[in-house]
Amino acid sequence: MVWVKSFLLLLFGFFYIFNPYNFTAINPIHLLFVFSLLYFVFFEHNISEMISLKVLLNYFLMVLTLFFYLLFLYIFIELDAVLNKVYVFFVTFLEVPICSLFINAFLVRNRLYDFSIYKYIHYIILIQIGFVVASFLNDDLRKWIILTSKIDNFETISNQFGLLRTYGLGSGLTYSLPMLVGLSSVITFHLLISSKVVVEKIYWILFFLLSCVTVLLNAQTGMLPILIYLFLSFVVAFFNVKTFTRLLCLVFCTYIFYVVSDYFFLSLYSDVFKRTLMRLDDVVLLLNGQTSGVFADLRDMHFLPKDEMGILFGSGLDTLGNGSDVGYIRDLHMYGVFGIVTVMPILTVVCYYAFVSIKNEFGTLISLSLFLSIPFFYAKGMLFINNDVVNTMFLLVVSYFFSRKRRHYVE
């Protein structure tokens, strides 16, 4: 019976984190939210046993402040497009936390995955990597995923400029999925170094390499956490011999991956990995003072609203498809500087406690590497939205507060 519960919770978590739009006409998170509410109504009546009511109250006050600001924009500045943002924030800041509360409650109540939210998330990412490998090897599966997706223009995005990408099963294949896998690969490397069992080391090496392949197949932005970790390791290495040893190991693993990629992936599957080669060319040209490719696109995507009112309060324009898909530029045009300032406390709290949890589990260097990756993620796309990274951070935050009362809750 335990394995059935483990499997069902794993399935729930996969749809919660990756949110695939292939099986329902509506956002799957809505169905998970309703299921979570029913669970708390019929099985868990006292939420205070799981998480402090003071924490919940402070959080919902911040959310209410955000909704009041959006209401102000709608009534006094008449930005009708803000109503869509209300829906997005309702999903992100209300439905997602309730679902994450259910996952943590069910995991602990049934003593699953050794009470570890990290082990649970790892298995979910492992399943996703399985889908990536399967869709890479079977083109029919990839086509089915693309054609059955409810995301607008998904097929065009997947085959843009004749360059293949979007391997796996989810709604953020070119955006948040590779970023989440990139973040997890930093932790994977830490587990690789700290493991003392040969079989475990082999497993973590394979997982690390497959994570890198997953990132390169979908969006190279996911490599940034690894590069940031590499840079911080260089800085720390001057003061810590142990860290320097880990750095050498990371460089070695990266070199092995490069060799394998160069002689296998990039040569046999040049049409698939051509986008990666183009990005490398863009970086080389940038170092030589020339702006091209993705960097030229990013330069052109940075433009402000036309007047001061637009900068302060936004214009209600979604710039996606209208000149820019940069996250903070889209937010600036949608609800202005004041809107970003209003939503920032929620993001700050979520990020802070998520990375405190990571720090407690894996150390400061890992936590700092992941934390510094978030601004780059915001540049890649929307941050204050239901996606793989944000959903996972909510899982970690709820788990952090939940752990304070876990002993009483289990008893």
* Pair (110, 170) in one structural domain: no
Q: What pTM did the predictor assign? A: 0.85
Query: Are 290 and 308 contained in the same domain?
Result: no
100 and 237 together in one domain: no
Task: Summarize pLDDT for 30-83 with one digit per residue, the tens.
Answer: 999 999 999 888 887 667 667 777 878 888 888 888 888 777 777 766 566 677
Q: Kindly state whether residues 41 and 146 are assigned to the same domain.
A: no
Domain interval for residue 168:
128-300
Cα–Cα distance for residue pair 113/350, rounded to 1 Å: 23
pLDDT on residue 240: 63
Are 208 and 309 part of one and the same domain?
Answer: no
Does residue 120 belong to any structural domain of this protein? no
Q: Does residue 43 sit in the same domain as residue 171? A: no
| Number of independent structural domains in the chain | 2
The pLDDT value given to residue 261: 56
185 found inside a domain: yes
Task: Report, as ranges of residue numbers, the positions in the chain whose pLDDT lies below 70.
Answer: 45-46, 48-49, 76-81, 153-165, 237-300, 302, 316, 320-324, 404-411
Q: What is the amino acid identity at position 240? A: N
Residue 80: both structure tokens together: 């009708």
Separation of alpha carbons 384 and 378, rounded Å: 9
CA-based torsion, 252, 223, 350, 106: positive or negative: negative
- ∠ Cα 49 52 55 (to 5°): 155
Burial of residue 349 (number of CB atoms within 10 Å: 0-12, 13-18, 19+) = middle
| Per-residue pLDDT at 405 | 64
Which of these three, 254, 276, 300, is where a domain ends?
300
Q: What is the pLDDT of residue 102?
A: 92
In a domain, 242, yes or no: yes
Cα 298 from Cα 283, distance rounded (Å): 13
Residue 3 shares a structural domain with residue 146: no
> Could you tell me if 285 and 348 lie in one domain?
no
Q: How far apart are CA 400 and CA 404, in angstroms?
A: 7
- Within-domain flag for 123: no
Residues 283 and 145 in one domain: yes
286 lies in some domain:
yes
DSSP-based helix, strand, coil % in the chain, nearest 5: 80, 0, 20
Residue 128: the pLDDT is 94
For residue 160, the 8-state DSSP code is: G
In a domain, 320, yes or no: yes
Same domain, 25 and 101: yes
**Do residue 74 and residue 150 come from a single domain?**
no
* pLDDT at residue number 34: 94
Residue finishing a domain among 266, 300, 334? 300
Q: How far apart are CA 410 and CA 76, in angstroms?
A: 49
Regarding whether 137 and 84 lie in a shared domain, the answer is no
Asked, for residue 308, whether it belongs to a domain, the answer is yes
Select from 172, 141, 124, 279 the least CA-distant residue to 216. Answer: 279
Q: Which long-range contacts link 186-195 to residues 24+ away (Cβ below 8 Å)?
A: 186/225, 186/226, 186/229, 186/366, 186/369, 186/370, 187/118, 187/358, 187/362, 187/366, 189/226, 189/229, 189/246, 189/250, 189/253, 190/362, 190/363, 190/366, 192/249, 192/253, 193/246, 193/249
Q: How far is CA 150 from CA 25, 121, 143, 170, in A?
A: 7, 25, 13, 11
Q: Is residue 121 part of a domain?
A: no
The last residue of one of the domains, among 252, 284, 300, is 300
**With contact defined as beta carbons under 8 Å apart, do 123 and 113 qualify?**
yes
